[in-house]
Amino acid sequence: MLRLIRFLKPFWYLVVLIFLLLYGQAMTDLALPDYMSSIVNVGIQQNGVADAVPEAMRAAELDKVLLLMTATDAETVDAAYDRLAKADLSGDALAAALEKYPILETEDVAVLALPEGTSRAGLDALLKKAVAMRMAFDKGLSNLPGYSSSGMPQIPAGTDVFQLLKAMPAAQREALLAKGYAAMDEMNASVLQQADATWITSEYKAVGLDQAAIQTAYILSKGGMMLLIALLGAACTVAVGYLSARTAAGMARNLRSQIFRTVEGFSNEELDKFSTASLITRSTNDIQQIQMMLVMLLRVLFYAPIMSIGGILKILGGDSSMLWIIGVAIATLATVILIVFTIAMPKFKAMQKLVDRLNLVSREILSGLMVIRAFNTRKLEEKKFEAANQDLTKTMLFVNRVMITMMPVMMLIMNGTMLSILWFGGKQIDAGNMQIGDMMAFIQYAMMIIFSFLFVSISFFMVPRASVAAQRIGEVLDTKPTVVDPKEPKAFVPGACGLVEFKDVSFRYPKAEEDVLRGISFTAEPGSTLAIVGSTGSGKTTLVNLLLRYYDATGGKVLVDGRDVREVRQRDLRARIGYVPQRAVLFTGDVASNVSYGNPDATDEEIAAAVRVAQAAEFVETNPDRYGMAVAQGGTNVSGGQRQRLSIARALAVHPEIFVFDDSFSALDFKTDAALRKALREETADATAIIVAQRIGTVMTADRILVLDEGRIAGIGTHRELMETCDVYKEIALSQLSAEELAR
């Protein structure tokens, strides 16, 4: 499959863009659980208080908080707040301040005003423990975890702790507070954050701030960001889907084009290796498998690793106490996938061959439908089709059953994972070591990780079938034609006009044990007609194929106008030959397009002349559409004789130097045959004509007749000469005509 990667080269920039978009999509998906966690933890549980930095608080409370800090930290925090006093304000400023902070009537208020060089994050780090300790003083120091074991002295009830702390020397106070901070280090960060939020919320209420508005604003801001990120992720998803489909379709198009061009360059030797049904399957179904696999590769196999690694990193960056649950889930998932993969993979490999077999049987039945009906063998053919159909159906059902069995197991693993997270997460929340939002985010990250592995596993089930398809396509693309143009082709001699020479030519089919043609030597000169006759299997069509260079001779030389056909370009060689094959082939279109097939520049007069010479005017010109008469695929809407005559007209329209008629008169009646041969003699008077025929009546008037017998020349000469000197010819002739008819 890797050898087909080169077909992705024209789309490298799309692949890079897809990867970047997938990275963006993964980052947006990974960001959403954090926002959801913030909405639950901060927006709902902490009333919108995101950190330990109050926007405003009573000035007296600020002084108490400062007492719980070192002198340096207290100086930094104090400088970050402006103290508002009613006595210092007047007019509109006083009215605005009283509207925002009603407590200003009775108490001074400290309002956050970050000086240059001081960050909110820095203040949060300084205030986090101090604010939590301030709340602990309100609830009683005995509620502070670790306090009783910290070595701090017990303070009698009713004692003003802050007056006591204020009266202490700074060094003694800081030493005492250090023990309390050490106790806080043992607390969970989320618990500490909740403690800070609880105290700040109470201060907001005390100074008169609208806590509901603060909470709503926080939820709306985070929700809005979630919406924007989700829209961005959706845009990336749509773009990835479009670009992946475009890339895969483009690669499939190029593959089909390359296969078509490769097959076009095949000689008959290569075409014999692949059945027509197999080549069609490889060009359609096999390429479709690769296209589907490529879409899955671009959309899932790149995306899944980013998601799984990103999800694990997100969990490690937060509370990783339940990471073991994901590890167990992934291990179980991998075990199930390995078992299923081992069972199903051989079946996937067999499916494409079974599709080939079904196509072959279907094509054979459809092609031979008339014969099947004639011999009443429909039941037999139905059994053959049913056998091929059943084999494919059974294999596909087996694979589908495996996949169907796998999905409930996967869902069981995922649901079990979720239940485990809820169970152990609930215990963590109850112990105060985790917040609800954190557990919800953990569940989402866990599902992302598991789904990533699940998507990769599903993709892997497409790999065997796509791999087999790629191998089959590679077999076609890697097949090198045995008949190729020379690196330095020679040109035909100017003025040459169709001299054909065979010099001691022999030929053997690939893997055959003996030659089918041996020692063939003859010359066909311009202006003459050479007929080739012989029994079935004597090598007549093979000899013609060597002239057209559908095969290369394994011995001797085939010359046209003095040039070895292997020394010139195939295009130049075949441009000099008007070929009418043994099996007349017409193409979808009309009469005019078929006749001008080899000469697209042919005028209407040339087309009409070729049709008249080929004795096809009687059915073409009597048709209402005349030369626009429709021709179905393969010429199925005309008779066999009409197909042959249109094929002959096609060769005549090229105006070649050499005419080759390979048993092209077999479907003609004697009257039409005679009229056609007479017209051809006039039309091909200056050209070389080579006629392969079974009927002696067709070749009797030829200038020379070459008789083949078991791959050798049994005789060559005129009809009369051969009747006297060649027993093989005489035997064939007498089997068809009477002695009186032959003597005419």
- How high is the pLDDT of residue 226? 92
| Domain presence at residue 484 | no
Same domain, yes or no, for 225 and 202?
no
* 226/167: higher pLDDT: 226
Cα separation, 713 vs 695, in Å, equals 18
DSSP 553: -
Question: Among 101-105, 170-174, 215-219, 637-641, which stretch is predicted with the lowest mean pLDDT?
Answer: 170-174
Q: Is residue 139 pLDDT above 70, yes or no?
A: no
Position 44 scores a pLDDT of 86
Q: Does one domain contain both 667 and 551? A: yes
Q: Examine residue 281 and state whether it is found in any structural domain, yes or no.
A: yes
pLDDT of residue 224: 93
Whether residue 548 contacts residue 577, with contact meaning beta carbons closer than 8 Å, is answered with yes
- Mark whether 706 and 561 lie in a shared domain: yes
Q: Is the pLDDT of residue 148 over 60?
A: no
Nearest to 527 by CA among 378, 303, 352, 689: 689
Q: How confident is the model at residue 242 (pLDDT cuts 50, 70, 90)?
A: very high
> How buried is 619 (Cβ within 10 angstroms: 0-12 exposed, 13-18 middle, 19+ buried)?
middle
What whole-number distance in Å separates Cα of residue 393 and Cα of residue 399?
10
Q: What is the pLDDT of residues 489-532, one digit of tens each?
A: 888 877 778 889 999 999 988 878 888 889 889 998 888 889 89
Specify the pairing of strand 658-662 against strand 577-580: parallel
Strands 688-692 and 658-662, sheet pairing: parallel
Q: For residue 485, is it within any domain? A: no
393 and 532 both lie in a single domain: no
Percent of the chain scored above 90 by pLDDT? 7
- As a whole number, the mean pLDDT across the chain is 83
- Bridge partners of residue 659, in order along the sequence: 578, 689
In angstroms, the CA 25 to CA 559 distance is 66
| pLDDT number for residue 140 | 55
Q: Give residue 147's pLDDT.
A: 43
513-527 as b/e, with b when 16 or more CB fall inside 10 Å?
Answer: eebbbbebebebebe
- Region 618-630 average pLDDT: 85
Examine the domain organization and report whether 471 and 547 are in the same domain: no
Strand pairing of 630-631 and 658-662? unpaired
Q: What is the CATH number for 330?
A: 1.20.1560.10
Task: Enter the pTM of the model.
Answer: 0.72
Least confidently predicted of 338-342, 459-463, 564-568? 459-463
Which residues constitute the domain of residue 118?
56-208
Tokens, residue 442: 């953990």
Last residue of a domain, one of 185, 208, 231: 208
Beta bridge pairs of residue 489: none
Distance of alpha carbon 208 from the chain centroid: 62
- Which residue did the predictor score with more confidence, 276 or 558? 558
pLDDT tier for residue 229 given thresholds of 50, 70 and 90: very high
495 assigned to some structural domain: no
Same structural domain, 448 and 567? no
Give the integer Cα–Cα distance in Å for 717 and 525. Answer: 14
Residues 300 and 204 in one domain: no
- The answer, yes or no, to whether residue 84 has pLDDT greater than 70, is yes
Q: How many structural domains comprise the chain?
A: 3
| 246 — pLDDT class (breaks 50, 70, 90) | very high
Gap between the Cα atoms of 309 and 287, Å rounded: 32
Helices (H), 491-603: 540-547, 570-575, 591-595
pLDDT in tens, 456-493: 777 766 777 777 788 888 888 888 888 888 888 888 87
Q: What is the pLDDT of residue 461?
A: 67
Please give the pLDDT value at position 460: 67
In a domain, 200, yes or no: yes
Cα pseudo-dihedral 401, 403, 406, 411, rounded to 10: -120
Query: Among 156, 187, 208, where does a domain finish?
Result: 208
Whether 491 is covered by a domain: the verdict is no
Q: Select the highest-mean-pLDDT range: 239-248, 419-428, 496-505, 534-543.
A: 239-248
Q: Rounded distance, CA 636 to CA 513, Å?
A: 38
Which of residues 422, 443, 478 is at a domain's end? 478
How far from 241 is each of 12, 234, 235, 302, 740, CA to CA, in Å? 16, 10, 10, 13, 80
Asked if the model's pLDDT at residue 374 lies above 50, the reply is yes
Q: What is the DSSP letter of 9?
A: G
Q: Are residues 457 and 560 in the same domain?
A: no
The one-letter amino acid at 501: E
What is the per-residue pLDDT for 227?
94
Q: Are residues 191 and 312 in the same domain?
A: no
Q: What is the DSSP letter of 654?
A: T
147-151, 329-333, 619-623, 698-702: the lowest-pLDDT one: 147-151
Q: Quick one: 335 and 404 in the same domain?
A: yes
Beta bridge partners of 503: 557
Mean pLDDT of 385-389: 89
**What are the tens digits of pLDDT across the range 407-450?**
788 888 888 888 888 888 888 777 767 778 788 888 888 888 88
**Are 235 and 203 contained in the same domain?**
no
Positive or negative CA dihedral for 338, 339, 344, 346?
positive
Q: What is the DSSP string of 596-643?
A: TTT-TT--HHHHHHHHHHTT-HHHHTTSTTGGG-EE-GGGTTS-HHHH
**Residue 488 counted as domain residue:** no
Residue 136 covered by a domain: yes
Q: pLDDT above 70 covers what percent of the chain?
A: 93
How many whole angstroms separate alpha carbon 279 and alpha carbon 359? 10
How distant, in Å, are the alpha carbons of 114, 502, 553 from that of 556? Answer: 99, 8, 7
Distances (CA, A) of 182 to 52, 146, 157, 177, 179: 18, 8, 24, 9, 5
* 438 lies in the same domain as 511: no
What are the residues whose beta carbons fall under 8 Å from the beta carbon of 635, sequence distance 6 or more?
584, 585, 586, 594, 642, 643, 646
Of residues 147 and 349, more confidence is placed in 349
- pLDDT band of 239, cuts 50, 70, 90: very high
Q: What is the b/e burial string over 483-511, where b = at least 16 CB atoms within 10 angstroms of the residue's CB?
A: bebeeeeeebeeeeebbbbbbebbbbeee
* pLDDT tens column, 669-697: 778 878 888 888 888 788 888 888 887 87
Could you give the CA distance from residue 446 to residue 315 in angstroms, rounded to a whole number? Answer: 9
Query: Whole-angstrom Cα distance, residue 31 to residue 1?
Result: 36
